[in-house]
Chains A and B, each alone.
Chain A
Amino acid sequence: DAGVIQSPRHEVTEMGQEVTLRCKPISGHNSLFWYRQTMMRGLELLIYFNNNVPIDDSGMPEDRFSAKMPNASFSTLKIQPSEPRDSAVYFCASSLEVGAGLYEQYFGPGTRLTVT
């Protein structure tokens, strides 16, 4: 299995631009998580999906952030418009099931976003 796949691996963009991060979870996993990691705030859960349905988006910082999961094998995290404070590493993780105590999440390699 290729593991969780994220793209792009690095992105540098100018303030005000739209940014779209992509994630392909491990095949067969039914839960998907988006995280953001910065030195100041550590690793923060932004949103997670179970069976393609967003369960909790309370970690999404503001309306500029949105996430979708149109099918079991693909999810996007979009920032529009981007701001310099959005600069961080964004991780996607997937796991087999949420709610049954099985939380062995597999993380993707992350997308390093820099907004200038």
Chain B
Amino acid sequence: EDKVVQSPLSLVVHEGDTVTLNCSYEVTNFRSLLWYKQEKKAPTFLFMLTSSGIEKKSGRLSSILDKKELFSILNITATQTGDSAVYLCAVVLGDDKIIFGKGTRLHILP
């Protein structure tokens, strides 16, 4: 059965800290991996990763994919209270099916 597992489930850190969120997957026909940020409402797109070892970066956020070890990490440096959200990882399969992880709930303390 195809699955996407995120860890930790929940994380509380102080403003200014760096966090690393993990996403591991076991799927039969991997095409790409997506990261989303979900605050109070709908998820917003962060990154799409298709190739191993190539870092995607946007401001204080960065992400990288390891297709050999079947995982991705999302890094957030110098965290701010506005980074508090649920971060969702999703894997897109070759037949265009999309499987989401349960998310990591990140809370940044001021």
Contacts and interface: CB of A to CB of B under 8 A. Distances in A.
Interface stretch (B16-24, B59-67, B77-85, B100-108): B100-108
Interface string A54-70: 01101100000000000
Interface in A28-75: 33, 42-45, 48, 55-56, 58-59
Which of B92, B98, B100: most chain A Cβ within 10 A? B98
Interface residues on B, range: 20 to 34
Interface residues of A, number: 23
B31 A101 contact: yes
30 contacts: A42-B88, A42-B100, A42-B102, A42-B103, A43-B43, A43-B88, A43-B90, A43-B100, A43-B103, A45-B97, A45-B99, A48-B96, A58-B97, A91-B42, A91-B43, A99-B96, A101-B32, A101-B50, A103-B34, A103-B48, A103-B92, A103-B98, A104-B45, A104-B48, A105-B45, A106-B45, A107-B42, A109-B41, A109-B42, A110-B42
